Amino acid sequence: MNTRVAVIQNPPVLLKRDETIEQMLTLIDEAVAAGATLLVFPEAYLPGYPTWIWRLRPGGDMGLSGEIHARLRENAIDLDRDDLRPLQKAAARNAVTLVVGLHERDSRYSGTTLFNTVVVIGSDGALLNRHRKMMPTNPERMVWGQGDASGLRVVDTPAGRLGSLICWECYMPLARFALYAQDLEILINPTWDTGEIRLASLRHIAREGGCWVIATATAMEGRDVPEDFPERDRLFSADEWINPGDATVVAPSGEVVAGPLHQQKGILYADIDIQAARRARRTLDVGGHYGRPDIFSLSVNREPLPPVVFSDDYPPQRHLDREF
């Protein structure tokens, strides 16, 4: 039985959480109407990837950096505050699985440090997994703290066994293997990366892991940045493509079956057969017989990053068992 996937790369309303969520609800309705049951949003989609960090002058734009970051922090997602509740209700109402990239503000940790996080919301509205990017890249380290491996796991969904790696985490061989070894069938890669080298990597990963690979960045032009963004006209040109998107779906064989959706704001659809992933590992199963477990082993520390104040119920379970 095939599953229809919707890979969404429309621009968010940058630095505006509530407006972006409203837009996401509209996009969910559009994808559901097209028959999709697995919906994927890009890296840091709520409230938008911090593309400005690649344009600010180190040491020369400190005031501007502080102003933008303050807005970002106020619009980040706090899971304890139920900021994702509208999306969870939409997932349950439509019986679809959502994969969403976001800026996470953990009030139990400090309330100030942000994390680059991807969450999987199940078809019943439950939060199935939260994975925080383990190593922010270059200037991203001025925005996000380092995540842990507590979310480096594969979860069951109606579409198949699904795991996520954020952007350049897919270049981390041990992180990939940690998912392969959990009977991974679908690898989701919310990213800001685009282009031919990235596409070659996605095809390699699909063949290596014997899994479907679904990836997308955010298709965004300068004109998509809200007018009230601090010093927008200095940082962005209205006619430039800040990111071309390049949403892509790759089969376990390494064949590109949909995309890249280049310089187009919209939704890329693909029908995937999960049995193809299971069949692909008959001869090459790097998490099984082909990995020579008698020779090699991998140890993963999945202890969650501790909050400032320890508590007996960390991490809280109410997000995992809430009904809608």
- Whether 313 is covered by a domain: the verdict is no
**216 belongs to a structural domain:** yes
Asked, for residue 311, whether it belongs to a domain, the answer is no
Report the CATH number at residue 138.
3.60.110.10
Structural domains in the chain (count): 1
Tell whether 28 is covered by a domain.
Answer: yes
- The first and second tokens of residue 235, run together, are 């940082």
16 as an active site residue: the answer is no
Task: Output the pLDDT for position 308.
Answer: 52
Which one of the listed residues 133, 140, 169, 211 is annotated catalytic?
133
In which domain, by residue range, is 192 found?
Answer: 2-296
Q: Which of 16, 167, 211, 221 is the catalytic position?
A: 167
Claim: this prediction has a pTM higher than 0.75: yes
Residues lower than pLDDT 50 in the chain: 310, 314, 316-324
The reported pLDDT for the residue numbered 203 is 97
Does any domain span residue 242? yes
Q: Does residue 185 carry a catalytic annotation?
A: no
Residue 313 has what pLDDT? 56
Annotated catalytic residue: which of 16, 43, 170, 221? 43
Residue 89 bears catalytic tag? no
Is position 174 within any domain? yes
Domain assignment present for residue 84? The answer is yes
